[in-house]
Structure 1
């Protein structure tokens, strides 16, 4: 604001340096129309309007000239009372305007100030911004009066620039993000305001997408492989994340880049964050230490991610025989174990059958023939027992034989 007032004071000095009856400052917003008051007393006859950004005055409108407007863009119109109407004022119209009445010799001077505010342009870092680094955004705009407020937004939400642990500002038109994290990825905007264009009249930049560069860790899942000659070996590496920018991967053997161009020997693939290396018909030349490496445009060379080391070695003839013998012994032991378990299960089942059969037989001995009653809920007296002994909840075994099971003594 101080600069704007200083600018106006300079205009006032220039205004009064020109000898005129009146000298006025008129402020208007770009895009509006405005009328400058006439200097004529009676009519517009003999009225001339001049524009003077320098010591030279240019005639733009007069009533004693066949040309109504100069330049001929039609925006300068002389009204019937001698006033000058300017339509759709733009920045270039900011100037000194002088009205002269040729009949009376009187005149008036006006200084036109055009307030405006440019749509800002948001400038992001031109290089990749990596996790842990700082990134600076610039909001570029101009206006009259000068800018006094810049608001920063991420994903449509206002950023708290007073969080000094996360953000830093050398001036309102710059924003520095401290120690970038992957969560700082998003769409950013800036909105500018001045005294003439506030709140909803403020101007916002385009939304720009900012992405933090990163690269996931890489791990070799099969660190040690022992194979027989002429068999196939497989190494598998996994990435915790794909990374940005897009990554490239490669395999190393004994610390040197492995040439996997021989498709009959090597098969390289990358599927869902898993990197595979298949080695066909392994031999002594394939023995060694293997690693996988991932990199991208932001993390390359020494900054790329290198996995742990895995080894490939061939089994000797003795190792192969020993492995075969151990395998056969394991198979024999497994068969013996299965047979033993089967025998134990058989004995257990047989014992269970005899036990159940004995209980059934005992149960039948305890339930002699009972006298049949027509009602199921009746109490029944059994033969061979003391009279008055009663049973309840009886069930018939068949319709023909009056033998009941699941009996309960009634106390």
Structure 2
């Protein structure tokens, strides 16, 4: 009997937490939202009341666990607080607008609905602030000779969504990199094999993600590639480079052979002179 009374008391306590005079707390749902950095974000909160009327909407910063953190707007007092504006003109719906979003706006927001019976319901949703940084183009050398290899590197590939693709342009025309022998690499690094005069010009890389693509892709700084031709003398006459170990070895071998031949000829001359018993050398 005692156990039964305890159970009845506990059930009554749970019921009174959710129901007052036959009324239940508002049912609240918050939709996740995406926004590009610098634009206005709109987060929508829909709610259902039971047996009472709407009193106020309260918007908070939150975390993924749904905890209430800093309050942003309470429509019982005002509909606006700095960059935050709440709209309650539509029945069953309230929205929070965040003007000129910045990266720190990315995160969770909680909507709390209070009715005139002082019952409240809450829920939270996630706001994703999308962005894409401007890429930076780099190269170790911007002056190459015909048949050399040119290399460009696209850096600072940072954004949200984090999956970023890169395309390449020459003189603002997209490069057709389908020739794998000519362009063995064309992702974040562009390699151009067997450079010719047609490869000279201004190069850029263009970064894209799901939020910024096509005309909204981010263009890097330009870099100008120059392509030179070897002179006729360079093509026909081999040059000796004293810093080249191979050239040093070749020169040493040639000099050694010449010296050895000279010594042998001198000894042969002396031998012939002695054999003939003639004076070959004047004192």
What TM-score does the superposition give when structure 2 sets the normalisation length?
Answer: 0.57
RMSD of Structure 2 on Structure 1 (CA): 4.0
Within the candidate set 87, 99, 106, 1:79 is matched to: 87
The answer to whether the 8 Å contact 2:111/2:123 transfers is: yes
Higher strand share: 2
The answer to whether the 8 Å contact 1:39/1:100 transfers is: no
Instruction: Give ranges in structure 2 of 5+ residues lacking alignment.
Output: 1-26, 245-283
State whether structure 2 residue 176 is matched by structure 1 residue 160. yes
Within the candidate set 132, 150, 154, 2:166 is matched to: 150
Counterpart CA distance in 1 for 2:55 and 2:220 is 46
State whether structure 2 residue 44 is matched by structure 1 residue 32. no
Q: Deviations over 1:214-259 (max 9, x none)?
A: 764558xxxxxxxxxxxxxxxxxxx99xxxxxxxxxxxxxxxxxxx
Task: Note closer, same or farther for the CA distance 1:155–1:43 as it changes in structure 2 (3 Å cut).
Answer: same
What is the CA distance between 1:107 and its match in structure 2? 0.9
Partner of 1:114: helix, strand, or coil?
strand
Instruction: Give ranges in structure 1 of 5+ residues lacking alignment.
Output: 1-19, 220-238, 241-292, 294-298, 303-411
Correspondences of 1:196-207 after superposition (within 5 Å): 196-207=211-222
Larger Rg: 1
The answer to whether the 8 Å contact 2:111/2:122 transfers is: yes
The answer to whether the 8 Å contact 1:49/1:98 transfers is: yes
Task: Note closer, same or farther for the CA distance 1:100–1:147 as it changes in structure 2 (3 Å cut).
Answer: same
Correspondences of 1:319-338 after superposition (within 5 Å): none
State whether structure 2 residue 151 is matched by structure 1 residue 136. yes
What TM-score does the superposition give when structure 1 sets the normalisation length?
Answer: 0.41
Within the candidate set 206, 231, 239, 1:191 is matched to: 206
Task: Note closer, same or farther for the CA distance 1:66–1:194 as it changes in structure 2 (3 Å cut).
Answer: closer
Task: Note closer, same or farther for the CA distance 1:34–1:98 as it changes in structure 2 (3 Å cut).
Answer: same
Aligned equivalent of 1:62: 74
Partner of 1:92: helix, strand, or coil?
helix
What is the CA distance between 1:52 and its match in structure 2? 3.3
Structure with more contact order per residue of length (Cα contacts < 8 Å, sep ≥ 6) = 2
